[in-house]
Amino acid sequence: MPDLQAETTAVLQRLIRFNTVNPPGNERAAIEYLEQYVREAGFQTELLGVDDARPNLVATLAGEGEGPTMVYLGHVDTVLANAPDWSHDPWGGELADGFLWGRGALDMKSQVAAEAVAAVSLARGGWRPARGALKLVFVADEETGGDVGARWLTEQRPDRVRCDLLLNEGAGAPFEHAGVRHYGVCCGEKGIFRLKLTAHGVAGHASMPRLGDNALLKLAPALAALAPGMAGYDPTEVPLAMIAALGEDPSDPAGALARLSEANPLLRLLVEPLLGVTMTPTVIQASEKINVIPAQAYLKVDTRVPPGLGADVALARMRELLGDAAAGLELEFTEQVYGYASPASSTLMDAISGWIGRHDPGARTVPTLLAGYSDSSYFRAAFPDVVAYGFFPHRHQTLPQTAPLVHNADERIDVRDLGYAAEFYADLAAELLG
């Protein structure tokens, strides 16, 4: 729909030009712009938050009868951007070569723009839900944990954001496998069980290395042992359903991954982390002075666990991967956040699959997980019955093209996909809410 594409492009350009790098965020100007945009179309709006500079927008279009509440969720903060690394100004919102360039063009101001334009186009035309309600929830602070964003909203103002159906970020760029285009639908996020490995030694002057017992050196075997990133597979419902949907045998994850790798090496890199506990060393710290042998050193490991599994599995897989390298090290959790998942089969999934079938004949949807974390998990924790998916459909920019650009320089989106996504969000609301 050309009109939706043009308007979504214009809204996204405005959003990108608000520098909302988090920290510090400073999302107020972007949120106020969105509030005015949707309020003028007939939405009832509220700005809610604990930090005056970082409010969250809750906009409601109420229906005429009882029915489900559907939320289109999105965050307006972004990660940092180093302008000299970019081909175009990361806060310029420039159009070039058929793409809109800028920080947030994929993660996730583009989806916010498409959701907002879709809802506004319906409301301007006089549409109101025949049943239930449509809510737009645009938040701050996703990139650093949601303490003043979705987490705060769901914990402190759940009455304002309670919902039955929810769409957020997480998947939607298509990929090819066995001659078929597949669209991932993110049904859940992995949990975060970060570990700290501490080694102990004896301090001394660095000019006489044999007089001390260097704790930092004791971490070297652990670093080497962690290089594979995984110790084995602990597959749960959603990734097994994904393997089956791709035509592979879910009872043989290793074999399925090998065959996926033969067809598309990138696909294996994206699917394998969903099948078990991943362990990535990211921070190491020892002496605070260069001339002092450290008596203590620690290594922090970013550990992600499939939804439904917890600390016991994370610790067991960590010890398995470390093997003898764990000797003499203290292991402790510094963070434990459980992952959550929604059912892979639902009315919402049926509606998504039906729309893709009509607009991209021959393509299929497949359930998937997000290897990272998103605000959807706060909603699943607060509202156990909610069906929450991550889905932002692209038609022209594929998963192999988008994945390397997220949180990277030259982030950009094909402008044709902005209209495609906006049309999806408009059609979905009309179908499910009447």
User: Residue 165: beta bridge partners?
Assistant: 70, 387
pLDDT at 1: 46
How many angstroms separate the CA atoms of 365 and 182, rounded? 5
* Residue intervals in the chain for CATH 3.40.630.10: 2-177+340-433
What phi and psi, each to the nearest 5 degrees, are found at residue 229? 85, -20
- Least Cα distance to 271 among 296, 245, 291 occurs for 245
pLDDT at 14: 98
Can you tell me whether residue 377 is helix, strand or coil?
helix
- Give the CATH fold of the 191-234+276-337 domain: Alpha-Beta Plaits (3.30.70)
How many angstroms separate the CA atoms of 415 and 106, rounded? 11
pLDDT at 260: 87
How many angstroms separate the CA atoms of 124 and 128, rounded? 10
* Residue intervals in the chain for CATH 3.30.70.360: 191-234+276-337
* pLDDT tens, position by position, 366-396: 999 999 889 999 999 999 999 999 999 999 9
How many angstroms separate the CA atoms of 313 and 307, rounded? 11
Helix runs in 323-414, H state only? 347-359, 376-382, 399-402
How many angstroms separate the CA atoms of 365 and 363, rounded? 7
**Whether 101 contacts 88, CB under 8 Å:** yes
pLDDT at 356: 98
Q: Which residues of the chain have pLDDT under 70?
A: 1-2
Cα–chain center distance at 69: 22
pLDDT at 348: 98
* pLDDT tens, position by position, 119-159: 999 999 999 999 999 999 999 999 999 999 999 999 999 99
Cis peptide before 239 (omega within 30 of 0): no
Superfamily of domain 2-177+340-433 in CATH is: Zn peptidases (3.40.630.10)
